[in-house]
Amino acid sequence: MRLTRRGRAVLVIAVALLSLGGFWLGTRAAGYAQAERPPSTAGLPWVQVREGDTLWSIAEAVAHPGEDPTAVVKEIRRLNGLTGSLIRSGTRLHVPGGAVTPLHQGQ
């Protein structure tokens, strides 16, 4: 198939318009996507993450005696909407209700 100069220009413009329309529809659909929101953390104690803290060390600090820190880590991730295990110094993390050690602060 052989296209004239005008035919190629029309084809390029049509493909560009279809691509832009697809991108526009994609951005509209992304606006309707619902991100999973963490549950209400009102009234829960929180800790300020310090240099060297990990989710595991925080979970051990706030876990009740005999409580599995793994379950506490999962609860901390759920409460704060964390998808991974990385936390940054200075971040405020809500923790499950219970005693917060003096090394960590908040209420």
pLDDT digits (tens, 9 = 90+) for 52-74: 999 999 999 988 888 899 999 99
What Å distances lie between residue 65 and 55, 82, 99, 103, CA to CA? Answer: 17, 25, 11, 17
Distance CA 107, CA 99 (A): 10
Sign of the torsion angle spanned by Cα atoms 87, 92, 94, 97: positive
SS3 29: helix
Rounded to whole angstroms, what are the CA distances from 39 to 49, 51, 54, 94? 20, 26, 22, 11
Q: What pLDDT sits at residue 23?
A: 83
d(Cα 49, Cα 79) in Å, to the nearest integer?
Answer: 15
Query: Measured in Å, how far apart are the chain's first and last C-alpha atoms?
Result: 73
Per-residue pLDDT at 107: 43
pLDDT band with cut points at 50, 70 and 90 for residue 100 = low
Average pLDDT (85-91) is 89
